[in-house]
Structure 1
Amino acid sequence: MDEEALTALAFGPDAGSADPIPRDGSPRQRLLAAIVLGARGRYAAAADLLDPLRRGRDPLTASLAASTLASHRRQLGAHVVARKLDGEALLAVGLRGEGDRRAATAGGSGTAGGGLAAARAGSRGVGSGSAGDGAAAAGAAVGSRGVGSGGVGSGGVGSGRAGAGAASTRAGVGSRGGGSSRAGTGTDSPAPKSTPAAADSPPSPPATASLSASASPGSLVTPTGDPHGLDLQGARADALLGLAADNLAIGRISAARRLAIRAAQADRRWRATVRGGWVGAEIELADGQPEAAVAPARLAYETAVARHARRHIVKSGIVLGVALLAARESGARELVLAAAADAEKYELDSLNWVAARVAADLDPDRAEEYRFRSRQVLHAVLRHADPCMMRIALESPWVPVGPG
């Protein structure tokens, strides 16, 4: 399978394929393969590809690999691990280029109340989190669980234990239970009601401006920009959005907002817009503002549809469905059932168990069927995780490994 085919699987309409995913090739091919494997819930295989890439000498490749791995970890409730990886990803590329990288490694200042400072804290494993993109079934008072946040690869829709039935969906949608509840978030102070910039700005065409740091020999891409954000701008946005999701998971809503805004400033192309919309919706749901969650969720969905990005359409459909349900608006059922059908069709197991879990709350006549399928897919996903991640998932309150 060549690079073009892998790109179509990762970012295009061909999200499913019976072909085996290659494990060799250029750094870009291996990164794309890891993204596809993660989307299918093959986390151990994806980690085998990502670990060497994030430990390589090229900072861009290392950053994107670390952000992708963080996304996969977050989807199974490992927010502390994800925070460390997202911090590593941001430190690899800095906030603007080489100068920031040197400042970061030398002890430079933080940014936006969470940027490099959060990155360094994350890289030391500081902070805790067992909340929900990780990747998340949309913690929005949708159901009895919640929704998580996602990352570069497949994102994660996590789950909570409060609400009404959107079961655990830490696979790519939100990071906290919805409504005004703060249970388990670790914070009682309200966050500013500003909406992340990603939710306020229309999608921009692929960037063509030159990047601030030149690519190293053997780098993932050239510095002329990449339509899918696999470049320095995109890497910074991925790391910042990952840190926003990680902070949201431990109840730091204000920090999550600031990081999301900084991510939108870093990259306004389609993938950053979609992922920014997911995180923006999660922030509003976590802050008890379901009506405000609809706009960023809708932006994410419409942008994904315009790009024919199948995997992103599926996750965006779940996020928007949860936001609409939490805001008591119509259209949630159709979106979530369509997402569940596509996740099944394209073997997107990282989203399949999440979509089925949420669908059970929206289709009472088939609720038991959806719940059974969700458990079945989740158990298959856990079998394809490395032993450490399986243990974390089994202990996580965001991953519904038990009955029900």
Structure 2
Amino acid sequence: MTGTLALRSVAAPDAETVAFGAEPGAPVRVRPGSSALERWYVAVALGGQGRYAAAAAVLEPLLVGPGVPVAVAAHAAITLAAHRRQLGGHAAARRYDALGLRLASSVACDPAADLYGSGLLAARVDALVGLAADAVGTGAPASAQRLLDTAESLLRAGGVGGGGWRPTVRLGWVRAELALVRGDAAGAVEPARKALECAQHAGSVRHVLKSRIVFTVAAAVAGTEPAAAVVELDAAAAEAERAGLLPLVWPARLAAADLLERGAGTPSNANDATRTISGESVNDPLDGPARRRHAALAALSVIEERADPLGKRLLGDSGRVSVPPPVM
């Protein structure tokens, strides 16, 4: 080869890899001829990036489209519920989780192994876990407990791998959240740890980062060194930002701010690191909790721009944009 530059064509990752793999921030779109399942992967990836309006535009036709497999329609409803819940709309999410459960329960369940949790068993478990999260958010912990126990029983009945790794991770997240809401921080640590281990084994960057946040918060509230927790939350927020996962940036920043406001200090070397990874100038007048709340608000503002009209209203009603609340 002389006088020319050889260019290597690098294929963009498929939507499945973006949704559940190592490149969660990569661009995705619905390609001509995409199957219903592939469209669901696209919507999951878009939601992970906080592109809720684009995700809803893909998900809503899957609820009513002719020829859409029942399992995919159920997962579409459950995913739409998750996106509504992430914008603060627990009550709005509940109707979609309930729809997902009805759809997933309308036909016989095939317990065959399902890596990414796209089958009927995973949909039933996901719907129950989603309903439990809705119950936690609307102040019904006893109902949440019953739903989680039912979900875990279904998952166990399906056998190893029957529902994939993803429902197991989500079950751990909500069990940890419920324990924290009940004031049982010690009881939150183990399900959070199991969720993290499962996500790490699966290799999904998005699920690992969220599991790290949940586990770190649970461990910190349970008595783990708070300064170390702030460093870990700052690191998770920075990694989420680099990965294009804005829905994980703001809770990590707020959790770190909460810990600092409760008296957690960070070692001097960690201060330097967190200033660098926050993406803000070291001369910024904001510091400590204020710096992190400002970063959280900036992430939420971008998320609001990417939401559909209902999502914008839910986010505004929740107060997260104007006054970000403590996490968990």
Q: Give the Cα–Cα distance (whole angstroms) in 2 for the partners of residues 11 and 33 of structure 1.
A: 11
Residue 234 (1) aligns with residue 86 (2)? no
Q: 1:274 to 1:3 in 2, by over 3 A?
A: farther
Q: Structure 1's 69 and 294: CA in aligned 2 closer, same or farther, altered over 3 A?
A: same
Amino acid at match of 1:283: L
Aligned residues: 278
Residues 403/299 of structure 1: CA separation in 2 closer, same or farther (3 Å cut): closer
Q: Any conservation in 2 of the 1:54–1:66 contact (CA below 8 Å)? A: yes
Distance (Å, rounded) in 1 between the aligned partners of 2:52 and 2:145: 29
Helix, strand or coil: the match of 1:356? helix
Residues 303 and 334 of structure 1, relative CA distance in 2, 3 Å threshold:
farther
String of CA shifts for 1:72-126, please: whole Å, max 9, x gaps: 00011111110000000000011xx53xxxxxxxxxxxxxxxxxxxxxxxxxxxx
Paired position in structure 2 for 1:372: 294
- Give the drift of 1:362: 4.2
Query: Structure 1 residue 21 and structure 2 residue 50: aligned?
Result: no
Partner residue, 1:51: 60
2:84 aligned with 1:73, yes or no? yes
Question: Per-residue displacement from partner, 1:228-279 (whole Å, max 9, x unpaired)?
Answer: 1100111111100001111111211111011111111222542111111101
Contact 2:104 2:121 in 1 (8 A): no
Q: Could you tell me which residue of structure 2 aligns to residue 351 of structure 1?
A: 248
Larger relative contact order, structure 1 or 2 (CA cutoff 8 Å, min sep 6)? 1
Of residues 302, 322, 326 in structure 2, which corresponds to 1:401?
Answer: 322
Paired letter, 2:258: D
Aligned counterparts of 1:303 and 1:376: Cα–Cα separation in 2: 31
TM-superposed deviation, 1:367? 3.1
Q: How does 1:142-291 map to 2 (within 5 A)?
A: 212-213=108-109, 224-267=112-155, 269-291=164-186
Q: Contact 1:41 / 1:350 at 8 angstroms: preserved in 2?
A: yes
Per the alignment, residue 209 of structure 2 pairs with 314
The answer to whether residue 314 in structure 2 is matched with residue 392 in structure 1 is yes
Between the aligned residues of both structures, percent identity stands at 40
Cα-to-partner distance string for 1:315-347 (whole Å, 9 max, x where unaligned): 111111111121112352343122112111101
Distance 1:11 1:376 in 2: 26
Contact in 2 for aligned 1:290/1:327 (Cα 8 Å): yes
How far apart, CA to CA, are the structure 2 residues paired with 1:287 and 1:361? Answer: 18
Task: Tell me the distance in 2 between the aligned counterparts of 1:283 and 1:265.
Answer: 18
String of CA shifts for 1:47-96, please: whole Å, max 9, x gaps: 000000012353211100000000000011111110000000000011xx
Aligned pair 1:34/2:43, yes or no? yes
Name the CA shift for 1:366/1:85 in 2 (closer, same or farther; >3 Å): same
Residue 159 of structure 1 is matched in structure 2 by none
Shift in CA distance, 76/229, structure 1 to aligned 2, threshold 3 Å: same
2:93 and 2:134 in contact (8 A); partners too: yes
Could you say what the CA RMSD is over the residues aligned between the two structures, in angstroms? 2.2
User: Which residue among 84, 104, 116 is the counterpart of 1:93?
Assistant: 104
Q: Secondary structure at the match of 1:385?
A: coil
Residue 64 of structure 1: aligned partner: 75
Residue aligned with 2:14, SS = helix
Does structure 1 conserve the Cα–Cα contact (< 8 Å) formed by 2:192 and 2:218? Answer: yes
Measured in 1, the distance between the counterparts of 2:99 and 2:302 equals 29
Equivalent position SS for 1:251: coil
Q: Distance in 1 between matches of 2:324 and 2:124?
A: 39
Structure 2 CA distance for partners of 1:323 and 1:403, relative to 1, 3 Å? closer
Q: Which amino acid aligns with 2:132?
A: A
One-letter amino acid matched to 2:29:
P
Does the residue aligned with 1:267 lie in a helix, a strand or coil? helix
- Note the C-alpha offset of 1:358: 1.7
Q: Unaligned 5+ residue runs, structure 1?
A: 99-211, 215-222
Higher helix proportion: 2
Between Structure 1 and Structure 2, whose CA radius of gyration is higher? 2
User: Partner amino acid for 2:88?
Assistant: G
Distance 1:40 1:61 in 2: 21
Q: Distance in 2 between matches of 1:258 and 1:45?
A: 34
* Contact 1:243/1:256 (<8 A) preserved: yes
CA distance in 2 between counterparts of 1:305 and 1:224 reads 23
TM-score (norm. length: structure 1) = 0.65
Q: Is the 8 A contact 2:42 2:55 kept in 1?
A: yes
CA distance in 2, matches of 1:3, 1:26: 18
Residue 403 and residue 307 in structure 1: after superposition, are their counterparts in 2 closer, same or farther (change >3 A)? Answer: closer
Amino acid at match of 1:324: A
**Conservation of the 8 A alpha-carbon contact between 1:378 and 1:401:** no
Select which of 292, 296, 299 maps to 2:191: 296
Question: Could you list the runs of 4 or more consecutive aligned residues of structure 1 that deviate by over 6 angstroms after TM superposition?
Answer: 1-4
Q: Distance in 1 between matches of 2:151 and 2:88?
A: 22
